[in-house]
Amino acid sequence: MEPVLTALDLVVDFGTVRAVAGFDLSVAAGASVALVGRNGAGKSTTMRVLAGVLPATAGTVVVAGCDAAHDPAGVRAAVGYCPDVGGLIPRATPWEHLQLAAKLRGMRGWEDRARDLLERFDLAAASDRITAGFSHGMGRRLSVVLATFHSPRLLLLDEPFDGVDPLGVDATLEVVREVRETGTAVLVSTHLLHLAVEVCEEAVVLRGGRVVGAAPAAELTGEAGRARYRALIT
């Protein structure tokens, strides 16, 4: 079966700084992969490129058959992306974010799905509140709602658990499980190894902008798993 995501020899330069240095990854439909690594390993930059937000300096990204270099809109249509920080228009409400996403994605009859997601992420009461006043956790939860709202082919979650309370974490884990069942490929970037293990079956370790190791996520648990992880990231 053709993978939903294929990244080949991805390179991203910011001036003289090489943020991503030859990243390769392939994720099949329904699979879930954790991107783990230290701060500055290139996880968020990679996620931005895969989301079609940042153009790669070199390399290839193909999502659901669309090449990011030639059909970025096609990539964005297939992707649901929760960025690492913020990601919300400060003076718009959650409902207005959903309205915009629905309009630009050409979705019809989206309201019930939107209400359901807001309910599950405990945001229903705040759906008409300006997001500038949201707590960090509320903002994270809304970003996950926006990423999963259109049942994407590829779900990219960058630090989705950062500052989120246990109920929010549970809601995210549940949504990830659901979308995987419908064939969505999931890529989660996180510092929280135990949650990465819980949500993903594979883990890819990044260091210095390149993949330095990959293993079944379960193998990174326990004392031996953590020691292996530490050895990879240092």
Partner 1 sequence: MTTGAGVQLRALFHLRWQMVRSDGVRASLILIALGIGWLMLIVAQGAGALDPVRAATAVELAPEAFLGFGILALIAPLTAGGGNEIVPPDQLVAFPIRPRTQFLGGLVLAPLNLVWVLQILALIAVTVLLTAGGSAALGALTTATYVTALTALGQAVAWGVVGLRESHRGRQVVASGGALLLLGLVVVVKAGLGGALLDHAPTGPVVAGVVAGAGGDWLRWGLTTGVLLTSTVALLHLGERACGWALRRPGDVGALRSSRSVRRRPARRSELRTLIALDRASVWRAPALRRGALVLAVLPGLAAGGAQVPWESLVVLPGLVAAGAGLLFGVNAFCLDASGAVFVASLPHDPRLVARAKALVLTETVLIAAVIAAVAGSLRSPGRPTTAVLVAIAVSALTCTAVVVARGMASSVRRPHKAELKGPRDAVAPPGALALASVHLAVPAGLVGLLLGGTAQSRIWWLPVAVAAPILLWCWLSLVRSFRTWADPVARSRIVSTVSAG
* Of 205, 203, 148, the residue nearest 177 (C-alpha): 148
Q: Is 79 in the site for partner 1 (CB under 8 A)?
A: yes
- Using the contact rule CB under 8 A, the part of the chain among 32-40, 84-92, 186-194, 207-215 near partner 1 is 84-92
Q: Least separation, in Å, of the C-beta of 225 and partner 1?
A: 30
| Binder of partner 1 out of 86, 163, 216, 222 (CB under 8 A) | 86
Q: Measure the CA–CA gap between 32 and 51, rounded to whole angstroms.
A: 16
Between residues 160 and 225, which has the closer beta carbon with respect to partner 1? 160
Q: Measure the CA–CA gap between 96 and 76, rounded to whole angstroms.
A: 19
Between residues 89 and 214, which has the closer beta carbon with respect to partner 1? 89
Q: Is 90 in the site for partner 1 (CB under 8 A)?
A: yes
Q: Is 146 in the site for partner 1 (CB under 8 A)?
A: yes
Amino acid type, 104? L
Between residues 71 and 198, which has the closer beta carbon with respect to partner 1? 71
Q: Is 53 in the site for partner 1 (CB under 8 A)?
A: yes
Q: Is 23 in the site for partner 1 (CB under 8 A)?
A: no
Q: Is 42 in the site for partner 1 (CB under 8 A)?
A: no
Q: Is 67 in the site for partner 1 (CB under 8 A)?
A: no
* Of 186, 103, 122, the residue nearest 152 (C-alpha): 186
Q: Measure the CA–CA gap between 5 and 76, rounded to whole angstroms.
A: 12
Give the strand order in the sheet containing 66-67. Answer: 17-27, 5-14, 58-63, 66-67
Q: Is 92 in the site for partner 1 (CB under 8 A)?
A: yes
- CB-CB contact of 53 with 127 (8 Å): no
Q: Is 128 in the site for partner 1 (CB under 8 A)?
A: yes
- Using the contact rule CB under 8 A, the part of the chain among 1-9, 26-34, 48-56, 223-231 near partner 1 is 48-56
Q: Measure the CA–CA gap between 21 and 19, rounded to whole angstroms.
A: 7
Between residues 88 and 203, which has the closer beta carbon with respect to partner 1? 88
Task: Count residues near partner 1 (CB under 8 A).
Answer: 42
Q: Is 73 in the site for partner 1 (CB under 8 A)?
A: yes
Q: How far apart are the first and last CA of the chain?
A: 35
The DSSP annotation for 148-210 comes to HTT--SEEEEESTTTT--HHHHHHHHHHHHHHHHTT-EEEEE-S-HHHHHHH-SEEEEEETTE
For binding to partner 1 (CB under 8 A), which residues are involved?
Answer: 48, 51-55, 72-74, 76-77, 79, 81, 83-93, 95-97, 99-105, 128-130, 132-134, 143, 146
